[in-house]
Each structure stands twice: as C-alpha cells, then as structure tokens.
Chain A
C-alpha cells in the first residue's frame, strides 16, 4: 500500500451519467494529482493541486471537473463522458517544499473507468 486510496476501483457508466472518483492520501502530502492512462499510452497529467491551488492541463475537456476540498482529498467529477474517455484514472500525491520541485509521487491503485 502506498498510502493513497482510490474509490471506486472499477466504474462502468453511460454517456449521460454523472459520477465522481475519489482519492484520499494518508501521507500528509501537500500536492495531489489526477492522471489518465489509456491502453498502451503513457501517463497523461490532467490536474494538479498544490497547496490547494489548481494547475491544469489545458487539453483536458470540461466534462472532467476536479475538486480538492483539502490537502488529503481529491475528487474528479465526470459528466457526459465519451467512450474514448475509458481508461485507468490514477491519483497521486507528493510533498512539495516551498518553491521546490515536485518530486516523488505516490500513486493510488487507480479507477478503471469504462464508458458505454
């Protein structure tokens, strides 16, 4: 266990559904991340929350909406997804010193999302 938990582990949803992915880190870190990993493709950074500020990848569609209520919890709200959004969604956390680099990230087990 890495200290980062994700729920649910598997999710099947229709294109008109609204669902949320949850991530919780028990490591006392101050930065959290959402990644998308499609089949046979490298990890793609979607969003970063550092000291509860948001940094985003501008190529992420608006049907993905992150929420970070505190430094330990991170959500990814999903609505009107497309079949091509089916992928493994990974959450990660790290400890970022003030003004310092984003170093080692600890990943959760991921949520396997299938959009029908």
Chain B
C-alpha cells in the first residue's frame, strides 16, 4: 500500500530559527515528490517538485532534499518568518495515474515572535 508519513506532526519555533520537516514514503513506482504550503483555510501552494534524478531543490528560504534510495525527503526552512506558519504537505506521485498521488497528513508549523 502506498503511504506517505510526515514528521513531526506539529512544530513550534521562534522567528529567525531554522527547521527541518521530514517525509518518508513507500510509493511505487516513484514519479515525483512535491512539497506544498497550506495556510489555514486556503488552498495548498506548491513549493518544490522533484523527480527521481533530483536530490535537492530550493525555492527562496525553502530547500527540499530527496533520497530516492531510502525513500526520504526533507524540507528545510531557513531564517523562519511569522508568515511561514502553515501546514506543509508532502505529496508523492506514482507512475502516470492521476489517482496515484498519495498525500501526507502534513506538518503544522507555528513560528512565534
């Protein structure tokens, strides 16, 4: 069964600090892995998308890594800001089937002043 597990479930950090969110998956055959940011009551917004051959991708203060051998990904946030408070969702797609995107439960990040 395809699964995506994210940790931690929630995280509180102080403004200006760095943090790392984790995503482990058992999706096969692997197509791509995406990280989304979802503000409360809003739709998710894409941060990064990585295919099998990519092991790191950055988007401003967000850097995602992918280890396809261990089936792990991380999202590192540098110099956090209050606006980073949101839910971060890891999504892994299998093959070319639209219905085969598996969503993680998300990590809720709270950045405090």
Question: What string of 1s and 0s marks CB contacts (under 8 Å) between B21-56 and chain A?
Answer: 000000000011010100001111110010000000
Instruction: Please list the residues of chain B having a beta carbon within 8 angstroms of any beta carbon in chain A.
Output: 31-32, 34, 36, 41-46, 49, 89, 93, 95-99, 101, 103-106
Contact present for A106 and B41 (CB under 8 Å): no
B43 near A110 with CB under 8 A, answer yes
- Minimum CB–CB distance from A51 to chain B (whole Å) comes to 11
CA A39 – CA B43 in complex, angstroms?
14
Of B31, B44, B105, B106, the residue contacting A107 (CB under 8 A) is: B44
CA of A101 to CA of B44 in the docked complex: distance in angstroms?
20
Q: In the complex, which residues of chain B have a beta carbon less than 8 angstroms from the beta carbon of A43?
A: 44, 89, 103
Q: Return B36 CB to nearest CB of chain A, in Å.
A: 8
Q: Which of A76-106 contact B (CB under 8 A)?
A: 88, 90, 92, 96, 99-106
- Interface size of A by CB at 8 A reads 30
Q: Which of B41, B89, B95, B101 has the most chain A CB atoms closer than 10 A to its own CB? A: B101
Contact of A55 with B98 at beta-carbon distance under 8 Å, contacts A103-B49, A104-B46 already known: yes
Shortest CB distance B58–A (Å): 16
Measured CB to CB, the nearest residue on chain B to A90 is: B43
Q: Does the CB pair A101–B32 fall under 8 Å?
A: yes
* CB contact under 8 A between A102 and B43, given known A42-B104, A43-B89: no
Alpha-carbon distance A88/B45, docked complex (angstroms): 15
Q: Is the CB of A109 within 8 A of B93?
A: no
Q: Check if A16 is an interface residue, CB within 8 A of chain B.
A: no
Task: Known pairs A50-B98, A99-B96; list 5 more (Cβ under 8 Å).
Answer: A33-B98, A42-B104, A88-B41, A105-B46, A112-B41
